[in-house]
Amino acid sequence: MIIDAKDLILGRLASVAAKHALEGEDVSIVNCESAVITGKRGTTIAKAHMRRNVIGHHIKGPFYSREPEAFVKKSVQGMIPKRTARGMAALKRIRCYIGTPAQFRDQKAVSVEHANISHSGAGEYVTVAQICRLQGSTRLK
């Protein structure tokens, strides 16, 4: 299953991807940088900054990535019981990508309709790319 994350709310996207991975499907999420997080811009960015720099210790962890594909995968990981064998196997079935790789260009990507930002009543939102860029991502332009 290929999921296009463009304009999808991250939490809803993560729950759908986790459900399919736990059922045994291989899940590939493309355009991870285009997923959105709802909420006021300043609050959302401050929360991400606090999670990375205040809560996480630079030696002991927990470690949070600056890259969008790892950011999205960490969100999906939160929806999976990762300490069980079933959860570890499901996490290995999930792949996240920036943009659309060449191997998926000719295939049809699924968009989760109930997770689309236009269908929700959310007024303000921030993209994953904006958060990762402010945290110092090296792979975003």
Q: Residue 134: is its pLDDT beyond 90? A: no
User: At 56, is the pLDDT very low, low, confident or very high (cuts 50, 70, 90)?
Assistant: low
Task: Specify whether the CB–CB gap between 75 and 10 falls below 8 A.
Answer: yes
The mean predicted confidence, pLDDT, of the chain is: 88
Write out pLDDT tens, residues 104-117. Answer: 999 999 888 888 88
Domain-located, residue 141: no
Task: Specify whether the CB–CB gap between 104 and 28 falls below 8 A.
Answer: yes
Q: Residue 120: is its pLDDT beyond 80? A: no
Domain-located, residue 11: yes
Domain-located, residue 69: yes
Residue 126, classed as helix, strand or coil, is: strand
Instruction: Identify the residue whose tokens are 């689309």.
Output: 116
Tokens of 103: 């191997």
Domain with 40 in it: 2-135
Task: Specify whether the CB–CB gap between 40 and 83 falls below 8 A.
Answer: no
Q: Residue 122: is its pLDDT beyond 80? A: no
Structural domains of the chain, count: 1
Residue 48 is part of a domain; what is its CATH number?
Answer: 3.90.1180.10
Contacts of 124 (CB under 8 A, 6+ apart): 38, 39, 40, 41
DSSP structure class, residue 103: G
Q: Residue 24: is its pLDDT beyond 90? A: yes
What pLDDT is recorded for position 141? 67
pLDDT (average), residues 42-48: 84
Order the strands of the 27-30 sheet from edge to edge: 2-4, 27-30, 94-96
pLDDT (average), residues 5-34: 94
What pLDDT is recorded for position 17? 95
What is the percent of the chain with per-residue pLDDT over 70, rounded to a whole number? 99
Domain-located, residue 61: yes
Domain-located, residue 84: yes
Domain-located, residue 140: no
Write out pLDDT tens, residues 66-99. Answer: 899 999 999 999 999 989 999 999 999 999 999 8
